[in-house]
Structures are given as C-alpha cells and as structure tokens.
C-alpha cells in the first residue's frame, strides 16, 4: 500500500503520531483501549500482523531514543535525571494492541493512494 506523498504524507505522519500519543495517554491514565467491533478490516489484522506492527512501533521508539536522546530531552523539557522510554504498547493486552493497530490502519486507509 502506498501513502500519499508531500503534504498528504506529512498529514498522515502527524495524525498517526497524534493517535499513538492518544493511545499512550489513555493507558497512562490506567484506562483500557477499546477495540472497534465494527471496524471492517479487523479480519485482515491477524494476531501476527498486530504483533508485527506493535513490535515495529516499539523498535522505532527505541531506535529514535538511542540516536537522538539529546534532541528528545530538549524538545520535551526532560531533565537528565528523567528517563525516556518507549510507549510500552508491547505490554498491552492483545485486544488493546489490536485497538492501536486498528487506528493506524484507519489512518493509512484515509491517506492511501491506489496502485
């Protein structure tokens, strides 16, 4: 699947980041993420696909923090005594992970370019 380039790509990236931040905020409050039982593409989001997407998100955060720790500390006003960590989506229940991936899938569908 291709995602729009240029402004469309920037928008999809921003919406995706906003979605992931929302998911993190919900879990930080101790609330559960809810699967959309009517999402039409859920059958395509197999446990293997969900696991792969969640692993890729965590790996991306780990890589970013290793490469650009100083930048992220400064951008988020984080002191040297505080620790930045990945969002921990890999620790969520399978249902909550599916909810995260449903949201990402929906965003990508909104910004996709047909082949």
The pLDDT tens digits for 23-47 are 999 999 999 999 999 999 999 999 9
Tell me the C-alpha distance between 103 and 105, whole Å.
Answer: 5
Q: What is the pLDDT of residues 53-89, one digit of tens each?
A: 999 999 998 998 888 877 777 877 888 777 778 899 9
**What is the tally of structural domains in the chain?**
1
What is the pLDDT, as a whole number, of residue 5? 62
Residue 109 domain boundaries? 2-113
Residues 114 and 40: their CA atoms lie apart, in Å, by 18
Contact by Cβ (8 Å): 1, 112: yes
This prediction's pTM: 0.83
What's the pLDDT at 8?
60
pLDDT band at 10 (very low <50, low <70, confident <90, very high): confident
């Amino acid at each position: 699947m291709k995602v729009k380039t240029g402004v469309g790509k920037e928008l999809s990236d921003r919406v995706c980041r906003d979605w992931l931040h929302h998911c993190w905020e919900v879990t930080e409050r101790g609330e559960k993420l809810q699967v959309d039982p009517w999402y039409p593409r859920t059958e395509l989001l197999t446990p293997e696909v969900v696991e792969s997407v969640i692993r890729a998100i965590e790996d991306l955060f780990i890589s970013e923090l290793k490469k650009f720790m100083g930048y992220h500390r400064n951008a988020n006003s984080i002191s040297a005594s505080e620790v930045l960590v990945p969002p921990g989506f890999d620790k969520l229940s399978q249902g909550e992970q599916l909810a995260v991936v449903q949201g990402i899938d929906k965003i990508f569908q909104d910004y996709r370019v047909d082949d």
